[in-house]
Structure formats: structure tokens, C-alpha cells
């Protein structure tokens, strides 16, 4: 059994004492080197979960353990080093005037020595296929390239967990696929835990496990195939099973071998 890196124990959260609960009694674990997708329709609580994992918010009830440490005001800086986040809009994530400066920024804040920084910039940009853009101004990059740089900036800190919060939502299907392939390769190379947060069931195919959220609660947890099998129930909570999954199931029933491992 792999070690658990992220643990939610009976977590409940609301944005204010007068506000409704947006998460209610959520418990789940995410393990070392595991790829998990968290899916749910808009407003089901996914982004709140991401912010709780990264110590941007703290729960009113229950506890969150990251790499053996309970997340609180004292541990939050360690936790943020361990949990890297990439958000939907790449333009909101740039701080440097060149790609190189941008990747350096997070490391500067953490006091990484100069020589080590140069090495990490090179290594992480190479890992995401952006090494030739070192001196490029970020605004000259495509949406997909910007997200690669954002991923490199996070990887340079050596997190144990990488969270993609709707990080491919603004990209076209080709850009999405390229980013997911890059991230999968990096995950294997770095033994990262990868959490993909999405409202699009298409994105869960590459995950080992899927956590489905509905109205602030965990609705189900299973393999992509296990989740896709509940087509009608998913539709009732606003999620559409992708055509490729329906087709694969039909072919399987007819005894045709399926090439995509995740759908097997
Ligand atoms: P998702 O990521 O699944 O779309 P969110 O976690 O963003 O869901 O939101 C869950 C619920 O919390 C929604 O009802 C949303 O309106 C509410 N919410 C999110 N952010 C805030 C905030 N800053 N203040 C008050 N309510 C919020």
C-alpha cells in the first residue's frame, strides 16, 4: 500500500459563519505517486478542496494532513512547498518578465541558491518541453505554452503533490491533450501525486481513481471505468459521460479489445 500524502478527515467548510456549508464531512486520501481526478459540476466544492489542500483556506471542522503534517497557520509554509497548484487562467500566474524569471520567482522566495536555481530552471523547462523559450516574454506564448511554464514554475519547488485546478479549461482539445501528456510524463518521472480538478469527464480518463463531488459531499470514488458505468446517475448530477467511454463499453461487450488502458 502506498503512503498517503493528502488526507481529508471529516472536513467541513463554509466561507463565513452565516454562509451555507460548501463542504460537509468529506474524507478521502490521495497516495504517493497516484493520479486522481476530482470531478463535479460547477459549485460542487472542487476549488474549495484545492484551496484547503494548499492552506489558502482552513476547515472549521475536521482536519487535513499533508505529508504527515496537520495543516494549520504554523505548518502552512511547509505545506505550500509540498503542494503545487496550477490554475485555469495562465495570465494570472505570471510574475516574471521572461520565462526564466518566472520559473525563478518561487525559488527566490524560498532562498534556493543561485547555482541550484539555474539548474532547476533548465531541468523543469526541459521536462515540460519549453527549454528553448528561456528568454521569451510570457505574453508572447500560446495558452498551452503558458500553462507549461506555470507547471515548470511549480515543479521547480519540488512539490510532492501537483494540483491542476481546471488548468486546461481554456485550451483547445489539442492543447489539453498535450498538457495532460506532459503532466503524466512528469508525474512518472518525479513520482508525484497528481490531482486533476475538472468538470469535464473527458479529463478523468488518465486518472487511476476518480472522486466525484456533488453539493459539497463525496458522491462516489472509483476507477474511471467504474464511474463511467453510472451514466444515468452521473447525468442526474450534471455530468456527461464522454462518447469515447460509451463507445469503449459497447465494444468491450462485443469482445473487441480496447487500446486505452484507463478504459479497461
Ligand atoms: P467548484 O470548484 O466545484 O465550482 P467551488 O469550491 O468554487 O466549487 O464553490 C463551492 C461553493 O462555494 C459555491 O456555492 C460557491 O458559490 C461558494 N464559494 C466559492 N468561493 C466563495 C467565496 N469566496 N465566498 C463565498 N462563497 C464562495
| Predicted pLDDT at 261 | 53
pLDDT band at 258 (very low <50, low <70, confident <90, very high): low
pLDDT at 189 over 80: yes
In a domain, 89, yes or no: yes
Phi-psi region of 118 (alpha: psi -120 to 50; beta: other; left: phi over 0): alpha
The enclosing domain of 143 has a CATH number of: 3.40.50.300
Could you tell me the three cell numbers for 59? 476547515
Nearest CA to 93 among 152, 150, 164, 162? Answer: 150
Domain count, the chain: 1
pLDDT at 98 over 70: yes
pLDDT band at 180 (very low <50, low <70, confident <90, very high): confident
Task: Provide the pairing of β-strand 21-31 with 4-14.
Answer: antiparallel
Q: Which of 32-41, 161-170, 171-180, 216-225 has the lowest mean pLDDT?
A: 171-180
In a domain, 125, yes or no: yes
In a domain, 102, yes or no: yes
What rounded mean pLDDT belongs to the chain? 90
- Asked if residues 36 and 213 have their Cβ atoms less than 8 Å apart, the reply is no
Could you tell me the three cell numbers for 125? 523547462
Read off the pLDDT of residues 108-135 as tens digits, 9 standing for 90 and up. 888 899 999 999 999 999 999 999 999 9
In a domain, 35, yes or no: yes
Please state the three-class secondary structure of 170-215 as a single string: CCCHHHHHHHHHHHHHHHHHHCCEEEEEECCHHHHCCCCEEEEEEC
Ligand 1 centre distance from Cα of residue 248 (Å): 34
In a domain, 264, yes or no: no
- Asked if residues 35 and 187 have their Cβ atoms less than 8 Å apart, the reply is yes
Nearest CA to ligand 1 atom 26: 15
* Ligand 1 contact, 198 CB (< 6 A): no
Q: How many angstroms separate the CA atoms of 258 and 100, rounded?
A: 42
The percentage of the chain sitting over the pLDDT mark of 70, rounded to a whole number, equals 97
Please list the residues that pair with 84 across neighbouring strands: 162
In a domain, 152, yes or no: yes
Domain that holds residue 21: 4-259
Could you tell me the three cell numbers for 141? 506564448
Could you tell me the three cell numbers for 196? 486533476
Nearest CA to ligand 1 atom 13: 43
Read off the pLDDT of residues 18-49 as tens digits, 9 standing for 90 and up. 999 999 999 999 999 999 999 999 999 999 99
Position in ligand 1 atom list of the atom nearest CA 16: 25
- Asked if residues 38 and 211 have their Cβ atoms less than 8 Å apart, the reply is yes
Most informative mutation of 17, 22, 60, 163 for ligand 1 (most atoms within 8 A of CB): 22
Q: How many angstroms separate the CA atoms of 24 and 217, rounded?
A: 6
Read off the pLDDT of residues 190-249 as tens digits, 9 standing for 90 and up. 899 999 999 877 788 889 999 999 999 999 999 998 998 898 899 999 888 877 777 777
Q: How many angstroms separate the CA atoms of 144 and 180, rounded?
A: 11
* Ligand 1 contact, 51 CB (< 6 A): no
- More confident of the two residues 35 and 95: 35
Amino acid at each position: 500500500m502506498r503512503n498517503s500524502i493528502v488526507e481529508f478527515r471529516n472536513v467541513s467548510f463554509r466561507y463565513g459563519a452565516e454562509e451555507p456549508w460548501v463542504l460537509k464531512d468529506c474524507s478521502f486520501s490521495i497516495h504517493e505517486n497516484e493520479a486522481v481526478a476530482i470531478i463535479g459540476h460547477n459549485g460542487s466544492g472542487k476549488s474549495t478542496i484545492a484551496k484547503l489542500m494548499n492552506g489558502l483556506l482552513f476547515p472549521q471542522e475536521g482536519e487535513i494532513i499533508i505529508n504527515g503534517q496537520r495543516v494549520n497557520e504554523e505548518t502552512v509554509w511547509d505545506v505550500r512547498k509540498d503542494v503545487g497548484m496550477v490554475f485555469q487562467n495562465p495570465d494570472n500566474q505570471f510574475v516574471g518578465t521572461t520565462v526564466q524569471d518566472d520559473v525563478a520567482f518561487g525559488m527566490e522566495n524560498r532562498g534556493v541558491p543561485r547555482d541550484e536555481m539555474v539548474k532547476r530552471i533548465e531541468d523543469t523547462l526541459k521536462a515540460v518541453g519549453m527549454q528553448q523559450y528561456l528568454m521569451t516574454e510570457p505574453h508572447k506564448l500560446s495558452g498551452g505554452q503558458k500553462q507549461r511554464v506555470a507547471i515548470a514554475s511549480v515543479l521547480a519547488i519540488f512539490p510532492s503533490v501537483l494540483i491542476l485546478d481546471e488548468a486546461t479549461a481554456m485550451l483547445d482539445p489539442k492543447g489539453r491533450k498535450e498538457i495532460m501528456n506532459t503532466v503524466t510524463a512528469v508525474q512518472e518521472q518525479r513520482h508525484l501525486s497528481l490531482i486533476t480538478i475538472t468538470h469535464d469527464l473527458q479529463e478523468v480518463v488518465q486518472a487511476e481513481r476518480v472522486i466525484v463531488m456533488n453539493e459539497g459531499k463525496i458522491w462516489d470514488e472509483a476507477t474511471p471505468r467504474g464511474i463511467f458505468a453510472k451514466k444515468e446517475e452521473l447525468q442526474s448530477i450534471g455530468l456527461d459521460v464522454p462518447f469515447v467511454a460509451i463507445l469503449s463499453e459497447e465494444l468491450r461487450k462485443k469482445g473487441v479489445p480496447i487500446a486505452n488502458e484507463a478504459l479497461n
